[in-house]
Amino acid sequence: MAYKALCLGLMCSLFVYQIYTPIPEDIEEPWKVTMLNVLVRTTELTGTLLEKIGLMKSEELFSRAAQAYFTKPISDENVTVIDTAFNGIPVRLYLPKKKSERKRPAVIFIHGGAFVLGSCKHMAYDIVHRQMVNQLGAVVLGVDYRLAPEYQYPIPLEDSISVTRFFLQDKILAKYEVDPTRICISGDSSGGMFTAIVTQVLKDDPEFKNKIKAQVLIYPSLQSVDLSMPSYQENEYGLILTKEMAVKYACLYITNDEALLQAARKNQHMPQGSRHLFKFVNWSTLLPEKYRKNHVYKEPVLGKLNSFPGLLDTRLSPLIANDSQLQNLPLTYIITCGHDVLRDDGLIYVTRLRSVGVKVVHEHMENAFHGALSFITPPFYLHLGFKMKDMYINWLEKNL
């Protein structure tokens, strides 16, 4: 009881303090967004305080809050919803009840949550996936990969690859009446990273390379090499996802060693021998001029930390894949947001994919922020979230 009272007192005090934090002038429904941002900031700061006094890790507090929005597999008159497992990994299937004269498209969805939070069972994703079934007649597969820090790199990624390979088997596609030429893989935030990596991996696999027609990346995280891009600088204390949160949870995906987090905060985490990778993320040449503004490019300091050679792996940073690894990727749809620390990851990936001949459709929402797709549920319905949802599904309808 004393613990709960302490948490409530802390959160109330922080809530009042945070409510006066200004938000960008171009944001729609500013009071709703202000309240959302205050709730996230309050939870973040409360978690940090609880962590410092040894009561709870901050990610645990966020995780418990997120679980309040998880849904049960409830079917309705149009959709059969099933929780099952593929290769031992939990998944949620959304299957159309309406008969179809032709085989169906399919959408594989890998959820976001900064590697440590969330589930494909989240209420917002449930809404999106039911609409996909009703509007597209699609089979939708949500992947519930294991989460960091309990399961660190590469386990969550390998879960995503394993589920995708299982689903793409001819016998499984036949079982669910899926057209093997009309399959999309998609994801938001950290799920966008996994989507990009899975697509890169399967591109060169003889058994699966022709079974992904399209990939969708929604405000994706795509690299851990340079954590001082203009979007990180401009949105350091931005809406919903701050730089500190992004860096901390990305580090927790890799290790519990505080040394990596301390170095990453200063952009001094990359090991010796990594200089050749910076050409793939050099925002001074790859970022559209509009977003370079008056920022001066400074290459990160190397060699302060040499304990994590995995940072050189494209399976941690798909943006550092070389040109040959990006060639012949499928049709790509990318949504980026102006008020997002991860904005530049997506913008640079658009540039790099187009430079090697990949067909890319890019939607940039200047007045949007990270996580907007999640805010289509009570108590906060944001027009921005519904707009993003409809853009995403309408694009799928035209291209699958």
Token reading at 242: 């701050």
Q: How confident is the model over 300-322, as a mean pLDDT?
A: 91
Tell me if 87 is assigned to some domain: yes
Q: How far is CA 56 from CA 245, 283, 297, 322, in A?
A: 16, 38, 38, 41
Helix (H, G, I), strand (E, B) or coil at 351: helix
Question: Closest Cα to residue 375, out of 59, 69, 71?
Answer: 69
Q: Are 181 and 298 in contact (CB under 8 A)?
A: no
Indicate whether 46 and 177 sit together in one domain.
no
Q: What pLDDT, on the 0 to 100 scale, is given for residue 14?
A: 47
Indicate whether 135 and 210 sit together in one domain.
yes
Indicate whether 212 and 179 sit together in one domain.
yes
Indicate whether 105 and 194 sit together in one domain.
yes
The pTM score is 0.94
Q: Domain containing 335: what range?
A: 79-223+313-399
Q: What pLDDT, on the 0 to 100 scale, is given for residue 106?
A: 98
Angle between helices 123-136 and 383-399 (to 10 degrees): 40
Question: Closest Cα to residue 126, out of 81, 90, 64?
Answer: 81
Q: How confident is the model over 284-300, as a mean pLDDT?
A: 93
Q: Which residues are catalytic?
A: 189, 340, 370
Tell me if 254 is assigned to some domain: no
Tell me if 257 is assigned to some domain: no
Q: What pLDDT, on the 0 to 100 scale, is given for residue 15?
A: 47
Indicate whether 113 and 187 sit together in one domain.
yes
Q: How confident is the model over 385-394, as a mean pLDDT?
A: 98
Q: How confident is the model over 3-26, as a mean pLDDT?
A: 58
Q: Which residue has the higher pLDDT, 16 or 100?
A: 100
Indicate whether 216 and 360 sit together in one domain.
yes
Q: How far is CA 143 from CA 155, 188, 214, 320, 345, in A?
A: 13, 12, 17, 25, 23
Mean pLDDT over each residue of the chain, to the nearest integer:
93
Q: What pLDDT, on the 0 to 100 scale, is given for residue 4?
A: 57
Q: What pLDDT, on the 0 to 100 scale, is given for residue 19?
A: 47
Q: What pLDDT, on the 0 to 100 scale, is given for residue 343?
A: 98
**Lowest mean pLDDT across 225-229, 292-296, 354-358:** 292-296
Neighbours of 289 (CB within 10 A): 6
Paired residues of 140 in beta bridges: 94, 107
Indicate whether 121 and 48 sit together in one domain.
no
Indicate whether 50 and 121 sit together in one domain.
no
Q: How confident is the model over 31-57, as a mean pLDDT?
A: 87
Q: What pLDDT, on the 0 to 100 scale, is given for residue 17?
A: 46
Q: Per-residue confidence at 371, pLDDT binned at 50, 70, 90?
A: very high
Tell me if 395 is assigned to some domain: yes
Indicate whether 32 and 158 sit together in one domain.
no
Tell me if 280 is assigned to some domain: no
Paired residues of 85 in beta bridges: 90
Indicate whether 141 and 16 sit together in one domain.
no
- Please report, rounded to a whole number, the percentage of residues in the chain having pLDDT higher than 90: 79
Q: Per-residue confidence at 216, pLDDT binned at 50, 70, 90?
A: very high
CB within 8 Å of 383: residues ≥ 6 apart: 28, 29
The torsion angles phi and psi of 123, rounded to 5 degrees, stand at -55, -40
Tell me if 139 is assigned to some domain: yes
Please tell me the total count of domains within the chain.
Answer: 2
Q: What pLDDT, on the 0 to 100 scale, is given for residue 2?
A: 54
Q: Are 127 and 140 in contact (CB under 8 A)?
A: no
CATH code of the domain covering residue 349: 3.40.50.1820
Q: Which amino acid is at 322?
A: N
pLDDT at 52 over 70: yes
Q: Which residue has the higher pLDDT, 4 or 219?
A: 219
Q: How confident is the model over 250-264, as a mean pLDDT?
A: 96
Q: How confident is the model over 362-377, as a mean pLDDT?
A: 97
Query: pLDDT, tens digit, for every residue of 333-365?
Result: 999 999 999 999 999 999 999 999 999 999 999
Q: How confident is the model over 313-333, as a mean pLDDT?
A: 97
Q: Are 233 and 297 in contact (CB under 8 A)?
A: no
Tell me if 108 is assigned to some domain: yes
Tell me if 282 is assigned to some domain: no
pLDDT at 11 over 70: no
Question: Closest Cα to residue 313, out of 273, 341, 285?
Answer: 273
pLDDT at 16 over 50: no
Q: How confident is the model over 29-42, as a mean pLDDT?
A: 91
Q: Are 193 and 334 in contact (CB under 8 A)?
A: no
Indicate whether 116 and 39 sit together in one domain.
no
Question: Closest Cα to residue 149, out of 80, 51, 235?
Answer: 51
Indicate whether 28 and 159 sit together in one domain.
no
